[in-house]
Amino acid sequence: MRLQNKVAIITGAGSGIGKATALLFAKEGAKVVVANRREDKGQATVEEIKKQGGEAFFVKTDVSIWEDVSNMVEKTIEKYGKIDILINNAGVVRFSPFDKTTEEDWNYILNINLKGVFYTIKKTIPYMINQGKGKIVNIASIAGLVGFEQIGPYCASKGGVIALTRQAALEYAKNKININCIAPGVIRTEMTGMLEDKQQLMFYQSQTPYPRLGEGDDIGYLALYLASDESDFVTGQTFVADGGWTIK
């Protein structure tokens, strides 16, 4: 197993990409810390991991709140004594034209999607430095690379995650801490609930050269590589997994 005895914190692990990644990491031998705002969703992921024979526990976490992030990390250290892997997956989106976007919308999205990544890295890095190694994977989006209508703050937040990834990777490469980023395309998750709209579904499919949309495991397997020892010489990179959306 590729993550045998590794300890992995995964934020937003109650659904979508985070849940798929948590289940996959547990199958690969990781002890998974399921961090999520909604307790029911987070506990459900823990139960699924346990049913498949894996090990996990839940910590209620809003990554935009420093005290929650501190509690998440401290509970992980208390239980396992180390943090090998951090997957920054928690994220939100709201839809509105740029000129109709409120300050509350902007703050809500940027606080979770970007400040939350800053908080988790800031709190986790000292433990990884002491361990002499660590893997951090930030989940951004192709919306951080190209424009999308009606999600301006989301695009800004994900572009910020990509830039933050490069900067943090540069600062901590000397400590053997690999920090990389994944930019998914359109993935079937609760966040992309608009895929239930047939017109939206047809549009997204038409923009994706590969003949299907993405699934959570498509991102989970890429995160698995970046979290494993196989990627030790890879850092500061953004890996696009979008079925070819951005190559057009």
CA distances from 47 to 52, 53, 124, 248 (A): 9, 10, 25, 41
pLDDT tens series, the chain, 248 aa: 999 999 999 999 999 999 999 999 999 999 999 999 999 999 999 999 999 999 999 999 999 999 999 999 999 999 999 999 999 999 999 999 999 999 999 999 999 999 999 999 999 999 999 999 999 999 999 999 999 999 999 999 999 999 999 999 999 999 999 999 999 999 987 765 556 677 878 888 899 999 999 999 999 999 999 999 999 999 999 999 999 999 98
According to the model, what pLDDT value does residue 201 have? 81
pTM higher than 0.95: yes
7 φ, ψ to 5°?
Answer: -105, 125
| Nearest CA among 61, 71, 67 for reference residue 18 | 61
According to the model, what pLDDT value does residue 194 have? 56
In order of start, what are the domains of the chain with their CATH numbers? 7-241 (3.40.50.720)
Please tell me the distance from the alpha carbon of residue 19 to that of residue 139, in angstroms, as a whole number. Answer: 13
Signed CA dihedral, 87, 245, 92, 45: sign only = negative
For residues 212 and 112, is the Cβ–Cβ distance under 8 A? no
According to the model, what pLDDT value does residue 195 have? 61
Please tell me the distance from the alpha carbon of residue 159 to that of residue 230, in angstroms, as a whole number. Answer: 27
Please tell me the distance from the alpha carbon of residue 12 to that of residue 30, in angstroms, as a whole number. Answer: 17
Q: Per DSSP, what are the bridge partners of residue 35?
A: 11, 59
CA distances from 15 to 99, 121, 151 (A): 31, 22, 21
Q: Is 119 a catalytic residue?
A: no
59 φ, ψ to 5°?
Answer: -130, 120
Please tell me the distance from the alpha carbon of residue 87 to that of residue 139, in angstroms, as a whole number. Answer: 7
According to the model, what pLDDT value does residue 125 have? 98
**Which two three-digit tokens encode residue 179?**
């920090």
| List 119, 154, 172, 204, catalytic entry | 154
Please tell me the distance from the alpha carbon of residue 64 to that of residue 193, in angstroms, as a whole number. Answer: 23
According to the model, what pLDDT value does residue 199 have? 81
